[in-house]
Each structure stands twice: as structure tokens, then as C-alpha cells.
Amino acid sequence: MSGNNIKVVCRFRPQNSLEIKEGGQPIIDIDDEGTQVSLKGKDFQGSFAFDKVFGMHTPQADVFDYSIKSTVNEILSGYNGTVFAYGQTGSGKTYSMMGSDIDDEKSKGIIPRIVGQIFDSILAAPSNLEFTVKVSYMEIYMEKVRDLLNPSHDNLAIHEDKTKGVYVKDLLEVYVGSTDEVYEVMRRGSNNRVVAYTNMNAESSRSHSIVVMTITQKNMDTGAAKSGKLYLVDLAGSEKVGKTGASGQTLEEAKKINKSLTALGMVINSLTDGKSSHVPYRDSKLTRILQESLGGNSRTTLIINCSPSSYNEAETLSTLRFGMRAKSIKNKAKVNADLSPAELKALLKRVKSETVTFQTYISALEGEVNVWRTGGSVPEDRWVTMEKISKGDFSALPPAPGFKSPVSEDSRPATPAIVLEKDERDELLKRENELMDQIAEKETELANREKLLESLKEEMTYYKDQEQLVTKENQQMTAELTDLRLQLQKISYESKENAITVDSLKESNQELMTELDELKRTLAETRMAHKDAVNDEKEKKKAEKMAQMMSGFDPSGEINEKERQIRDALNKLDGDSTGSLSIEELVSLRRDLAESKVLLEQHTKTIEDLTYERDALGKKKIDLEGRLSNLESEYEELLDKTIAEEEAQVQKNVDIAETISTLKGKLESQYNAKREMQQREIEELKRELDRKNESHQKISNALADLKTANDQLQVALSEQPSDNQSELSEREKDLERMRKTMANQLAEFEVMKKALMRDLQQRCEKVVELEMSLDETREQYNSVLRASNNKAQQKKMAFLERNLEQLTNVQKQLVEQNASLKKEVAVAERKLIARNERIQSLESLLQDAQEKLISQNQKFEAQLQAIRERLDQARSQKSQNSMAALNFGRIAKPLRGGGVAVVENGDSPTSPTSRDKRGSWISGFMGSRS
């Protein structure tokens, strides 16, 4: 085990915009060999030597090739390795470690290049070597170790044991088979990192990130195995709070960052000052994890990142000094190898011989002790020493009874005991470390448990509060429910009572209805009787009126008279056959006759007109009759309605004066309209009657004229000499014809007269009827008017009538009262039953409510319990799920040297194509998960 110094390389980035803005100037100068940098600052001027110094424009590839490349080979040889970047915030640590784009060949940083080289080396290795590569990714944020591949694990414990050394417990390790898979894991982890904006860096890392790659190789021929662990650390930036403008959470982060960096400084100081016996690795999580990397079993490279600018002179100086101190740290890197069976056999043999030597030594010592104890003495030259035992010089030992020479049994011991003592001490120290780790772990666990307990208690209090609230609410609601139920009961009870009242009211209503029916019947009978009487009276009146009217203008007498006169004149003519009718007289007679004819025609026409008018009048009469019947039915309806309303009014004791008044108004207006219409019709009829009378008068006048003409004709005929016989006979003939014509005309006239008279009589009848119906309607209207107007009076009357009725039917009433009392008793009994029922239902309700309350409480308790159980389940599931997220990476992916992948269950190797396929499956999976 030889000591090896930490390799320190220094890298300067170009000035950034802030530095340029602030007027910063480059103040560094790198020598030609690239191992020394001179700082020409205001406050400091001097130079620092490192393993390598990279200038502002050094490409990423150069930094890797000149400083890191060799580390990869060491890892593959079974050494542990560490590369970590240190520097102020914004100095380019992340840029150096990860690069600005891991997929870009030019700008990708050290980590992707290392990964690439690892897989390249595996491909180039001999095929009897089998490799497995595991990756884990964590960050130390606010002094807590977070698994970036399983962020729910945010406070992991750090352990140490003999074989593993220092390690983070429960950190997820993902098996990877290609560069792409490693990149995918990196991307996934990077997404979970904590970054924030500061004045110095828009995406400042607020945590120390650590990628751990474990590469195991096995020689398939010998069975020997080696494993190397590579820590790739991107530290959070050391920063001056004032410059970064950190505040709030960022300020808190800065404090923690500075604290862990101070611890790192302290570790480096105590490792390098040559005085300290204790190295304070346990002062921070960072130093604890990097324990092996700083002064332990690791080949470590430190990249110190600096700003070249005068603006950051102080920070650059501090970083350079840090690097200088770190440079003198000595590590003790060794190959982590598992021995092959042959090597193990040799080792066993050696250990066995050592055991024999020790046993011999112990026996010799015991022998010597016995000599001393038994009072004997051993000369100094024969004292037992390890040297003598080792040499096998048993003769020089004291003769002790218990001592047996091992020479005959086994070969000489080989290893001096002093080596074993040192190992023992180492072991003890390791054991102590382990125990300390366990204590620390237990403490963290205890703290976690306490926290959990605290949160559970809080939760418990919350649930208890909730329970109380819910119980209160429940009680309130139960009270409300009970109230409502009581109300419901009350209402149902009241409704029952009301139903009973309604029943009794219905009964009384029924009685009233029968009474009403009786009354209606009586009314109808009275009405019928009244109607009959009225009809009789009407008939009488009609007859009287007709007689009166017809007496005024009966033309039959006149016409008969005229007819008689004409007949007389004709008879006279017949009798006086030798009549002396002059020609002039005859001519005038003829003319008169002609005129009479015209008149007759006129009259006929008039009669036709009259017939037509009569028809029209008949129609009108039918119309009027229809209307009258309508009016009557309306009146009936109204009467019924009024009676019904009055009855309703009596039942409900509601004042419907308004309704009656509107009804009255309506009735009045309807009646007025009808009356006016009828009046108009009657007037029209009267006018027509007058016209008819006039025309009748005219006809009578014409008849009178005719009569006079006839008279004149008669006179002329009587004065006519009877000398011309032939002429006479002719005239006779003419006269005969005339007479016949006249007779015909008279007969026609007679018929016409009769029809006319009939028509006239009918019209008169109609007029009389109309007048009478008008009177009737008027009377009805008046009665309705009276009915509506004198309601109060009517009421009074009804009341008086009822009183009278009551008085007259006292006995009947008493019987009725008795019956009603019986009914009331029945009602009261029903009410009593209903009340009893209500009391019973109330009691059962109360019991129900109590039972429900108890069951609800039980239910609630059960729910609460279930919630608690579910919460516990959810908690345990959550931790399981997060573990399951990257389960695919838990399967080892052995890779054979020379690019041959190994199928895990069988030994048949698969082609590189199939390995690529697995890689694409992984990235697809990761992509789908992100």
C-alpha cells in the first residue's frame, strides 16, 4: 500500500458578463508548461503550481485527456477513484463535470467522457473478463442525503463496513449496459436536482451532487474479481452571500453549503498539517461520504475552478489556496480485489502456519510462566521470545512441562506478529467506525421515528379534532332530525285532526247539499208553477194585446165591403142587361179596370215583398228565440252560480262582494246590451209594422178608389140607352169577360188578403211575444239585480228564514244536535286514538334516533380506524413504489470484455446488437417515466 497524492488541476473559465460589466480584468498568467499560474491581483501577487492548469479557452476534451483519462484505467484496475470540482459559485464546476450538453461531443464534460471511456475500455478488454456497471446519483442538500434516482428517499444514512467501506445505505444503484443508459440515468437525476437563480449564476447548484459508478470485473478463468468505485462530485459553489444576493431559502442553503465546504477545508487541513491525529470527517455529510477519497482508499483528482477576473480576485485566491492544501493530501489507494481460489489457498496455508507459530509461542510462554510460578527461575538467555519461536530455536527455551515443540508437527511460522497487531488495530478502528455509524444511523432513525411520531400525533390530534367536529355536527344534525321528526309527527297529527274535522265538515256539507237539493227542487217546482202561471198570464195578455192590436187595423171588413160593393155593381150590371152604358163609360171602366189591374199587380208585388219580409222576420224570430233561450240558460247558470257562490260564501265566511259586484257589472252590461239589441229589434219590427199598416192603408185606399170607380161605372151603366143590340151583346160579352176577370181577380185578391191577414196576425203575435219576453227578461234582470244588490238584505232574510226554520223545527234540531253530539263523541274518540298513536310513534322515534346515534358513532369509529390503516398502508406503499420505480436497473447486466454481453441465467453470450436493444428499452422506459 503506497501513498499517492491527490491530483489537483486548475481550470479558469472566460470572464462572464457580470465581471465584464463590473470592469473586471483577467489577472492570471499560466506558464508554458501549464502547471503554474501567477495571480497578479491588487491584494495578492504570487504563483501556484498544480498538476495541470487550464486556461480560459481550454476545450473540454483537453481537460479530460490531460487530467482524468488515466483515472478511468485505474478504476478498471480495481482502484477507487474520485473526481471532484471545487470553486466559487459560477466558476464552471458543473460546466467542467457535466458540460453544457452531454450529447454534444464538443461541449460535454468530464462525466460523460468518463462514462464513454469506461464502456470503450470494457469493449476493448479481453473476453475472459466479465464486467458489471452500476450507477447511483445523489445530492447533499441542506445536510441531507437525497437519492436523485428515488427522490422520496431524501434523508439517507451513511454507513461504513469492512468490505464496502463508507457507503450510503438504501441508495438506489442502477445496473447499466451502455453509455446511453448512463446518460438517461443522469438526465433523470439532474431533473431532480435543486437549483436556484443567484446573481452569480442563473442556474446555481444548491447542493453537492455525487454520481457513483461501481465497476466490477471478474476473471472467468481464475475466478478472481476486482471492483472499483468512482465518485464524480460536483460541489455547490462556495459563495459570499453579499455577492450572490442570496436571501430567504437561498440564504439558508448558502449557509449549509458554506458549512459543509468549511468542513471539507477542515478535513483537508487536518490531513495536511501533519499534527492532527483526528480527521473531522463526521463534521458534515460531504466529508463523511468523501472520507475514502480524502486520505483513504482512492485515486483522487480535484478540479479547482476559478474566475480569471479581478472582480473575483479574493474568491480565486481562496480557491487556489484550497487547491494547494489539497495537493499535499496523501491517499492510500489499493486494489479492491477478491482473491482467486489458488490465491486463497496460499493465504490459508500462510495463516495456518502463523497460527501454529502463535500456538507454539503461547505454549512456550505458558511453560516459562509455570517455571516462574513454581518458584523457579529462567535465565535471561532462555526467556521465550517470538524471534526464537519464529526461528524454531526451541533449545533456547526454558524446559516447561506444558510446552510441546511444534517442529515435529508443522513447518516454521512465517509472518511476524507485529504485522497482525497493526491489522488488529485497523480492524478495531474500523469496527469502531462501524459502531459509530450504527449509532449515527440509529440516531437518525430515532430522529426520523420521533418526527414520524410527532407527525402521527399531529395527525391524530387533527383526526380527533375532526372526530369531535363530526360528532358535534352529528349531534346537531341528530337534534335537528329529531326536531324535524317531531314537527312531522305534529303535522301528521294535526293533519289527522284536520282530516277528522274535514270529515265532520263533509258530513255537514252533505246534509247541507241534500238540503240545497231539496231547496232547488222546491225552487224548480215553484218556478215551474210560476212559469205555468206566467205562461197562462202571457197567453191571456197576448190574446188581449192581439185583440187590441187587431181591432186597430182589421182591413177585412173594409175589403169585404169593397168586395161586396163590386159584386153588387156586377150583379147590378147582370140584372140590368139592357143597361145603357155609354162607350165613354165603358172606356173609363176599362181604364179603371186596367188601373185596378196595375194596382193589383202592385199589391201583389207588395204582398210578395211582405212575404219575403215575413220570412226574414220569421228567421229573425227564430234567432231571437234562440237568443232568448240562451239568455234564459245564461240566467239559469248565473242564478246557479250565484247560489253556489252564496253557499260557498256561507261555508267559508269569505266576503265575495267584489266578485258579485263584478258579476253584477258583467250581468248588467250583458243585459243592457241584450236589452238594447232587443229594443232595437222591437223598434225595427214596430217600424216595419207601421210600414205594413201604411201599405195596408194604401191598399185600402186603392180599394176605395176602385169602389168609387165601380160606382161610377154602375151609374154610367144605368144611364146607358139600349138602342144598339149588337153593340150591347158585344158589350155584354165584354162585361162578362170583365166580370169573370174581376171575379178571378177578386178571388185572387181574397186569397192574397187572407194570406196578408194571416201574416199580419203572425207578426202581431210575434211582436207581442217579443214585448212579453222583453218584460220577462226585464223582470229577471231586476230580480238578479235585487239578488246581487240586496245581498245584505238577502242574508238577513236568509238568516231570518233560518231562524224561523229553526224555531219551527226545534224538535228536529234537538234530535239533530243529539246526533251531532254523538258524532262529536266519535270524532273525539278518533282524535284520542290518533293522539295515542302519535305518542307511540314518538316513543319509537326516540328509540330509533338513539339506536341510530349509537350505530353512527360505531360506524364513524370504524371509518376512523380504516382511515388510519389506509394511511399506514399508503405510507408503506409509497416507500415501496418509489423503490419499484427503477426496478429494471436492479438486474445485473454483465458485459464481457471485447463487447460481448452475457445472458444472466445462461452462459451463452449475446451480440452487441442485443445489448443495444436492451439499452433502447431502458431509455424508452425512462423516457416514459419522466
Please state the residue numbers annotated as binding site for ATP: 87-94
Radius of gyration for the alpha carbons in the chain, expressed in angstroms and rounded: 71
Does position 165 interact with ligand ATP (CB under 6 A)? The reply is no
List the x/- string, 298-327, binding to ligand ATP by CB under 6 A. -------x----------------------
**Smallest distance from ligand ATP to CB 440, Å:** 28
**Smallest distance from ligand ATP to CB 204, Å:** 3
Which of residues 90 and 897 has its CB atom nearest to ligand ATP in the complex?
A: 90
**Smallest distance from ligand ATP to CB 46, Å:** 23
Tell which one of 71, 80, 82, 94 touches ligand ATP (CB under 6 A): 94
Nearest-angstrom CA–CA distance, 901 and 911: 6
Q: What is the Cα 809 distance to its own chain's centre?
A: 75
Nearest-angstrom CA–CA distance, 76 and 18: 42
CA-to-CA separations, 95 to 110, 122, 234, 340, in angstroms, rounded:
9, 27, 10, 42
Which of residues 216 and 312 has its CB atom nearest to ligand ATP in the complex?
A: 312
Tell which one of 84, 95, 183, 493 touches ligand ATP (CB under 6 A): 95
Return the residues of window 183-202 that contact ligand ATP according to CB under 6 A. Answer: 201
Pick the stretch among 93-101, 542-550, 630-638, 658-666 that binds ligand ATP (CB under 6 A): 93-101
**Which of 216, 190, 212, 214 has its CA nearest to residue 203?**
190
Which of residues 142 and 356 has its CB atom nearest to ligand ATP in the complex?
A: 142
CA-to-CA separations, 470 to 464, 474, 848, in angstroms, rounded:
10, 6, 20
Does position 260 interact with ligand ATP (CB under 6 A)? The reply is no
**Smallest distance from ligand ATP to CB 259, Å:** 15
Tell which one of 71, 89, 293, 714 touches ligand ATP (CB under 6 A): 89
Which of residues 76 and 85 has its CB atom nearest to ligand ATP in the complex?
A: 85
Tell which one of 24, 81, 92, 889 touches ligand ATP (CB under 6 A): 92
The grid cell for 161 is 463496513
- Name the helix (H) or strand (E) containing 718: helix 657-719
Torsion, Cα of 93, 94, 99, 100 (10° steps): -120
CA angle 156, 159, 161 (to 5 degrees): 155
Nearest-angstrom CA–CA distance, 465 and 397: 84
Does position 112 interact with ligand ATP (CB under 6 A)? The reply is no
Tell which one of 45, 100, 535, 651 touches ligand ATP (CB under 6 A): 100
Nearest-angstrom CA–CA distance, 108 and 104: 6
Alpha helix segments (H runs only) across 553-656: 556-575, 583-652
**Smallest distance from ligand ATP to CB 87, Å:** 5
Other CB atoms within 10 Å distance of the CB of residue 854: 10
- Using an 8 Å Cβ cutoff, are 319 and 87 in contact? yes
Tell which one of 14, 116, 280, 898 touches ligand ATP (CB under 6 A): 14
Tell which one of 34, 87, 177, 308 touches ligand ATP (CB under 6 A): 87
Pick the stretch among 10-18, 341-349, 527-535, 824-832 that binds ligand ATP (CB under 6 A): 10-18
Which of residues 92 and 398 has its CB atom nearest to ligand ATP in the complex?
A: 92
**Smallest distance from ligand ATP to CB 194, Å:** 11
Nearest-angstrom CA–CA distance, 323 and 317: 10
- Using an 8 Å Cβ cutoff, are 569 and 714 in contact? yes
**Smallest distance from ligand ATP to CB 201, Å:** 4
Return the residues of window 715-734 that contact ligand ATP according to CB under 6 A. Answer: none
**Which of 109, 49, 86 has its CA nearest to residue 316?**
86
Nearest-angstrom CA–CA distance, 686 and 674: 18
Total binding residues toward ligand ATP, as defined by CB under 6 A: 18
List the x/- string, 205-244, binding to ligand ATP by CB under 6 A. x------------------------------xx-------
Residue 76: which residues within 8 A CB-CB, separation 6 or more?
A: 118, 121, 122, 125, 215, 217, 228
**Binding region:** 87-94
**Smallest distance from ligand ATP to CB 109, Å:** 9
Residue 321: which residues within 8 A CB-CB, separation 6 or more?
A: 48
Does position 99 interact with ligand ATP (CB under 6 A)? The reply is no
Pick the stretch among 70-78, 91-99, 650-658, 859-867 that binds ligand ATP (CB under 6 A): 91-99
Residues paired with residue 304 on neighbouring β-strands, in sequence order: 10, 86
Tell which one of 52, 93, 327, 731 touches ligand ATP (CB under 6 A): 93
Tell which one of 13, 226, 256, 766 touches ligand ATP (CB under 6 A): 13
Instruction: Name the DSSP letter for residue 309.
Output: B
Percent helix, percent strand, percent coil in the chain, to nearest 5: 65, 10, 20
Which of residues 84 and 781 has its CB atom nearest to ligand ATP in the complex?
A: 84
Does position 336 interact with ligand ATP (CB under 6 A)? The reply is no
Which of residues 194 and 481 has its CB atom nearest to ligand ATP in the complex?
A: 194
What's the distance, Cα to Cα, between the start and end of the chain in Å? 45
Which of residues 94 and 714 has its CB atom nearest to ligand ATP in the complex?
A: 94
Which of residues 100 and 844 has its CB atom nearest to ligand ATP in the complex?
A: 100
Pick the stretch among 85-93, 429-437, 550-558, 878-886 that binds ligand ATP (CB under 6 A): 85-93
Nearest-angstrom CA–CA distance, 374 and 366: 12
610: left (phi over 0), alpha (psi -120 to 50) or beta: alpha
**Smallest distance from ligand ATP to CB 155, Å:** 22
Which of residues 89 and 565 has its CB atom nearest to ligand ATP in the complex?
A: 89
Residue 622: which residues within 8 A CB-CB, separation 6 or more?
A: none
Residue tagged 375532526 (cell numbers) = 466
* DSSP sequence for 188-208: HHHHT--EE--SS-TTEE-SE
**Which of 412, 387, 384 has its CA nearest to residue 398?**
384
**Which of 494, 476, 486 has its CA nearest to residue 842?**
486
Which of residues 34 and 413 has its CB atom nearest to ligand ATP in the complex?
A: 34
Tell which one of 34, 78, 90, 555 touches ligand ATP (CB under 6 A): 90
Pick the stretch among 86-94, 247-255, 586-594, 736-744 that binds ligand ATP (CB under 6 A): 86-94
List interacting residues with ligand ATP (CB under 6 A): 13-14, 16, 87, 89-95, 100, 201, 204-205, 236-237, 305
